[in-house]
Structure formats: structure tokens, C-alpha cells
Structure 1
Amino acid sequence: MTDDLAGRAAALRALHRPGDPLILPNAWDAGSARQVAAAGFPAVATSSSAVAESLGHADGEATPPGEMFAAVARVARAVAVPVTADLERGYGLRPVELVERLLDAGAVGLNLEDSDPRTGRLLDAGAQADLLAEVRAAADAAGVPVVLNARIDVFLDAGGDPAARLPEAVSRATRYLAAGADCVYPILLADPAALSALVAAVPGAVNALARPGAPAVSELAALGVARVSYGGGLYAAARGHTQRLLDAVRAGGDPFAAARSDPFVAARPAASG
């Protein structure tokens, strides 16, 4: 089992190529994970916010850890490709237990963020680097080179000096990579010039978030990004579509009128109940 997980982790790490990024349309359950894999994507990532909402919880570590890891395990069982899990800031678990539960769930990568999920307050960079180093040591001890994606939340903070955000993000990224992270994730950084500067300044892979207003995936690739994720965006779009269908039902209309022109939907057997 350890050898299989180690192989998946190595495969996931190899997919992080600057200029030819790993594309991760984040999933939230086994069904969405199967769709991602069936569409040809070579890995599946979970979104903590999407998983939380799909389980009836709010984002921000409101999901009990057991429920989150059970959801990750269902995703990992559903696909043959490597799975990386968004684990917020680790739910207060000790690094050894965090890695143990990640591997038990069948995932070989994880995101960890550097702000308090409950308050949004940015945490001390040194303390976060220590946490990342302990996670790396736990993964090494387990014999699985877990892919560690260190989220940097500097650009989530609306306060402070905007001019100081990029230098702070570069400083944090450098520290986190030195502590054992494989990739850094300056979430919400969308300005092409700033993103290019960060990519050039840090000695490791950079993850960008695909979202409205951000550069297109092709532009992100040209900037040297090695990983592009969609966060909770696909889940939010799916919920929005479901709401439109419900509005049509409530209004007495036909919610499936548009779907009939979709060959994928038309080819599926009718539901029995």
C-alpha cells in the first residue's frame, strides 16, 4: 500500500511543470471526481469549501475532520488517478496524525493555508514554516513523498499596504519552499505582472487560481505557473445551475428543455426515481 501511494505521489509531483501546468478542476464528491477523471485530467483535487457545503457545513474548518477525511476517501476510491486534498489549516491535528489520516484516505497531496480559517487573520510565517516542515517530516517517515501545496493568503487581506503584499508573498513562499513545500499557492493573486514577478522570484512551483477576472489558463501557463486550480468555482456554478432548474420547476416550466440539446444528457437513461 505504501509503495502504491508513493508512486501516486511521485506521479502527482511530476505533473507540476512550469509553463505546462497541472489543471485541477476541483471536485467535491465521488461523482464529481469521476467526471474530472473521465474528462482526461491526470489528477483530482478536492475543494474544502465545496466539500464542506456539500456535507452541510460552512467553510472555515466547520467540517468535523472525520467527515472531511471520509469525503476525501470516497473521492480517492472513485478514481484511479492521484488525489490531492484541500485540508484548510489541518483542523488542529498534529502533523503526524494529519499525514496518517491523509494517507489512510488514499490521497497523496494536500493544501495547507497560512491564515486562521475561523478569523481570516494571517498567521506568523515562521510558525507556518514550522508546521510545513513537520508535515514534510511526517510524510518522509511514512515513506510517501506527499505533495505539499502551501497556500499564501496575503492577497486575501483587504487591509494593509497593497504595495507590501507582493514582497510579503515572495518572502513567505521562499520560507515555505525551504521548509519542504513542493508548491506555493498565492490565492487571489491575478495581476499578470505581479504573478510573473512572484514566479521568477521563488525557487519552486507556483499554483494560481482560475476564476472570473483572472488570466486565462493559457496566459497563466505563459507566466510560468505550474498548477492551476479552480477552488470552489465549479461547485458554485453547479449550484447556480441547479437553482435555475428549481426556479423553472417552481414557475411551472420545463427545466430540461435546454438539456435536451446536450448529447451527453440525451444519451443518459432516464432516472427511475
Structure 2
Amino acid sequence: MSHKNQSMKFQQFKQLHKQPSTFVLPNAWDASSASIFQKSGFKAIGTTSAGIAMSLGYSDGENLPFEKMIEALKSIVNSVDIPVSADIEAGYGKSVEEVIDNVKQVILAGVVGINLEDGTGNPNEPILDISMQVKKIAAIKELSQSLNMPLFINARTDLYWLKIGDPSLRFQSAIKRVKAYEEAGADCIF
């Protein structure tokens, strides 16, 4: 995909988030499902990490080899003419550098947006330290700017999903994370 075409798709995707009506983003797991969603009139497509993994015989939770994820993303992007946003879980890396290397591949695959979650999959430390997630988001934003290829970052906090912390304080904890993720450069919060 050309840089110009990818930038146009990014702008389209960004505008869908600003429209006054509800924006529904169906989650594709392969090229066929993506094509069906486009033919059904959807203006953009998300991907489902669980759906892609399971369709290839893996369980969710970054168990799918990253190379296979990239292959699936390329196939989905190449099957449609509308923007694609990828669920990349926590970024498939332990360090900020690993995540950045992976996000670069995602951008080069033609994806214009990502979901990045702060859940770790580690039962002993189920949620990423807020400062580490902020570093990831800021580094991803910097990467997209340095490549001159915009990337829409939807930062997800898993405090409620994973039932982390005191339920009476969970909302305040989630708001703290939301604000930090926005300040780091997230375009949207989940």
C-alpha cells in the first residue's frame, strides 16, 4: 500500500471516531471475513486477536507466533479497500523496544490503527505498570511520526476485565490510566 493511500485511510479511520452517530467496528479474523464486512457496508474493520489465533489453531493471549499475526494482518489489509485496525494485544513484546519493532511491522503491513492493552497475561502481575504502558504508547506515537505514517492508538485498560484492585477504587484507577494514556499520545481509550 502506498504511503499516501495509508495516510488517507488513517484520516478516514480518525474521522469515523468523530462522527455524531455510533461507529461500529466489526472484528475480522481472516481475509474472507474482512471482505464480507466491507461488502456489508462497514466503513472500517478491526481485527480480533482471539479470532485470528483460534482460526490458526492457537489460543488467545499472544500464543500465535507474531510472524503468523503479521501474515494474517497483511492478508486482511490486502483484501479490503477500507481502513484496518489491528488488535495486537499487549504488543507481543516484553520490552518497549520489542513492542516498537513489532508495531513497525504492523504499520508496514498497511494497518492504520492498533488496540494496545495493559493486561499482561501473567497471573502474578496481571496488569502492566502504568509507567511502562505510558512508555510504550509514547514510543509508538514517536515511531509513527518518525516513519511519517500515522497510526491510531486505541489504548485499552484491563482493570475491569481482569477485576484488578479494590472494586470501590477501580473507577479512579481506570481514570488515572486513561488520562496517562491520553497524555502519552493515545487517540482513543477502551
Q: TM-score, normalization: structure 1? A: 0.65
Give the superposed CA RMSD.
Answer: 1.5
Alpha-carbon distance in 1 for matches of 2:122, 2:79:
31
Read off the aligned partner of 1:176 and give its amino acid letter. Y
Name whichever of 125-134 and 111-120 sits farther off.
111-120
Give the distance between the partners of 2:90 and 2:168, measured in 1 at CA. 26
User: Over residues 105-161 of structure 1, what are the superposed CA-to-partner deviations in whole Å (9 max), with x where a residue is unaligned?
Assistant: 111111111010344701111110111000000001111110000011010223531
Residue 113 of structure 1 aligns with an amino acid whose one-letter code is E
**Shift of the alpha carbon at 1:87?**
0.3
Corresponding residue to 1:106 among 110, 117, 139: 110
Aligned to 2:155: 150
Runs of 4+ that moved beyond 6 A = none
Listed one character per residue, the Cα deviations across residues 201-248 of structure 1 (whole Å, up to 9, x for unaligned) are xxxxxxxxxxxxxxxxxxxxxxxxxxxxxxxxxxxxxxxxxxxxxxxx
Q: Which residue among 142, 145, 150 is the counterpart of 1:137?
A: 142
Deviates further, 132-141 or 88-97? 88-97
TM-score under structure 2 length normalisation: 0.92
Match of 2:65 in 1: 64
Provide the C-alpha distance between the structure 2 equivalents of 1:177 and 1:111, rounded to a whole number of angstroms.
14
Residues in 2 aligned to 1:62 and 1:68: alpha-carbon distance in whole angstroms: 10
Paired residues of 2:38 and 2:80 also in contact (CA < 8 A):
yes
Whether 1:178 aligns to 2:183 is: yes
- Summarize deviations over 1:53-109 as a string: whole Å, max 9, x none: 001001000000000011011100100000000001111163442232112211111
Unaligned runs of 5+ in 2: none
* Structural mapping, 1:154-169, within 5 Å: 154-158=159-163, 160-169=165-174
Give distance in 2, aligned partners of 1:147 and 1:117.
Answer: 24
Amino acid of the residue matched to residue 141 of structure 1? Answer: S
Q: Is the 8 A contact 1:86 1:111 kept in 2?
A: yes
**Secondary structure in structure 2 of the residue aligned to 1:150:** strand
Matches within 5 A, 1:5-16: 5-16=6-17
Between stretches 139-148 and 87-96, larger displacement belongs to 87-96
Maintained 8 Å contact 2:92/2:99: no
2:70–2:106 contact (8 Å) kept in structure 1? yes
Whether 1:123 and 2:128 are equivalent positions in the alignment is yes
Stretches of structure 1 that go unaligned for 5 or more consecutive residues are 186-273
**Identity value in percent:** 35
Whichever residue aligns with residue 186 of structure 2, its letter is A
Alignment of 1:207-246 (within 5 A): none
Instruction: Find the counterpart in structure 1 of residue 84 from structure 2.
Output: 83
Answer yes or no: is the 8 Å Cα contact 1:44–1:81 preserved in 2. Answer: yes
Asked if the contact 2:27–2:47 (Cα under 8 Å) also holds between the matched residues in 1, the reply is yes
